[in-house]
Amino acid sequence: MKNKLVYLTTNPHKVEEANEFFSKKYGFELEIVNPDFEILETQAKTCSEVVAFSVKYASEKLGRAVLKSDSGLYLEALGGLPGPYNSYFDKQIGIDKFLELFKNEKNRKARIEHCFAYCEPGKEPIVFSGGGTGTISYKAKGTRGRWHDKFYIPDGETKTLSELREENYEYEASFWGDAKDQFARWYQENILEK
């Protein structure tokens, strides 16, 4: 039996979601690892670039095949910020201050990106990307998910991602695109079936 694929994350929500998704839908399990070293991230314009750099670094450091994910929020009014610096915005200003700063902004268009990257030691990373478009609400609503989930409303919806996740996780996950499915199908065909 092959070793479980190592999925690097420090986010407990990602652990729960990844285990449920990959085992239920695709029948393979992940070994969730909160590494005892800092996973370096590069400064870049997209989550794809950040996660590719990080997963390559981590696979070399661990000497094993590694999976890592990343997500970003891109606001049209801010020229694409925070983008891959989403967590820094959350740590530095948080939801309430962000929405206060953004309250008079008319252009509330936004885009989310969700990426998964896989890398084996000595090889180049393979990145799978998805995402969707939406708007920024004037108030934070919901209790689940990351900071932007509480104020990002997907196109065609009236509720935030957080509120949608509280009602139906699988439906909410559809607004992030199909990066997880892209990766899972590729992994089955190229790694598990070999």
Parent domain of 100:
5-192
Cis peptide before 82 (omega within 30 of 0): yes
What is the biggest distance separating any 2 CA atoms in the chain, rounded to whole angstroms? 57
134 compared with 11, residue with greater pLDDT = 134
38 — pLDDT class (breaks 50, 70, 90): low
30 — pLDDT class (breaks 50, 70, 90): confident
Query: How large a percentage of the chain has pLDDT more than 70?
Result: 90
107 — pLDDT class (breaks 50, 70, 90): very high
Each residue's pLDDT tens digit, 63-91: 999 999 989 999 999 999 999 888 889 99
pLDDT given for residue 13 in this prediction: 66
Global pTM value:
0.85
The catalytic site residues sit at 70
Q: Is the pLDDT of residue 2 over 60?
A: no
Alpha carbon distance 148, 137 (integer Å): 10
Each residue's pLDDT tens digit, 52-65: 999 999 999 999 99
pLDDT given for residue 23 in this prediction: 81
133 compared with 194, residue with greater pLDDT = 133
Residue 34 neighbours by CB under 8 Å, 6+ apart = 8, 9, 10
Instruction: List the single range of 14-23, 115-124, 172-181 with lowest mean pLDDT.
Output: 14-23
Each residue's pLDDT tens digit, 129-148: 999 999 999 999 999 888 99
41 — pLDDT class (breaks 50, 70, 90): low
Please give the tally of structural domains in the chain.
1
Alpha carbon distance 185, 38 (integer Å): 29
Whether the CB-CB separation of 184 and 192 falls below 8 Å is answered with: no
Instruction: Identify the CATH number of the domain in which residue 92 sits.
Output: 3.90.950.10
124 compared with 15, residue with greater pLDDT = 124
* Burial class of 162 by CB neighbour count within 10 A (0 to 12, 13 to 18, 19+): buried
